């Protein structure tokens, strides 16, 4: 079974950031992935700000306990989705 990068990104966000009541559309995930991929280095406040811009008013459990490996994984999943698809 092959998992597309957007599904991986969504799953990682759900398990890491634990957004409450988050049900993004395909287009929202693509926009989020593109913005995350545009950054070389992400910190907890960066991720929180970007996520909040894309999903204003949405709450999430928190970023406590996340380390740089979590952000590197998030960035790698975003980059995987941001790559142009072969036609």
In total, how many domains does the chain have? 1
Q: Can you tell me the distance from the alpha carbon of 44 to that of 24, in angstroms, rounded to the nearest whole number?
A: 21
Which pLDDT does position 29 carry in this prediction? 92
Residue 73 lies inside a defined structural domain of this protein:
yes
Low-confidence residues in the chain, pLDDT < 70? 1-3, 60-68, 70-71, 82-87
Residue 50 lies inside a defined structural domain of this protein:
yes
Residue 87 lies inside a defined structural domain of this protein:
no
Range(s) of the domain holding residue 46: 5-81
Residue 86 lies inside a defined structural domain of this protein:
no
For residue 5, give Cα distances in angstroms to 50, 61, 69.
Answer: 19, 23, 18
- 3-state secondary structure at position 86: coil
The pair of three-digit structure tokens given for residue 56, joined into one six-digit string: 């204003």
Residue 26 lies inside a defined structural domain of this protein:
yes
Residue 70 lies inside a defined structural domain of this protein:
yes
Which pLDDT does position 59 carry in this prediction? 78
Residue 30 lies inside a defined structural domain of this protein:
yes
């Amino acid at each position: 079974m092959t998992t597309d990068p957007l599904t991986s990104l969504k799953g990682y966000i759900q398990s890491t950031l634990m957004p409450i009541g988050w049900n993004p559309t395909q287009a929202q995930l693509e926009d989020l992935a593109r913005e995350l991929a545009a950054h070389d280095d992400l910190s907890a406040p960066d991720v929180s700000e970007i996520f909040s811009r894309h999903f204003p008013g949405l709450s999430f459990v928190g970023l406590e306990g996340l380390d740089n490996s979590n952000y590197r994984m998030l960035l790698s999943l975003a980059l995987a989705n941001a790559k142009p698809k072969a036609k």
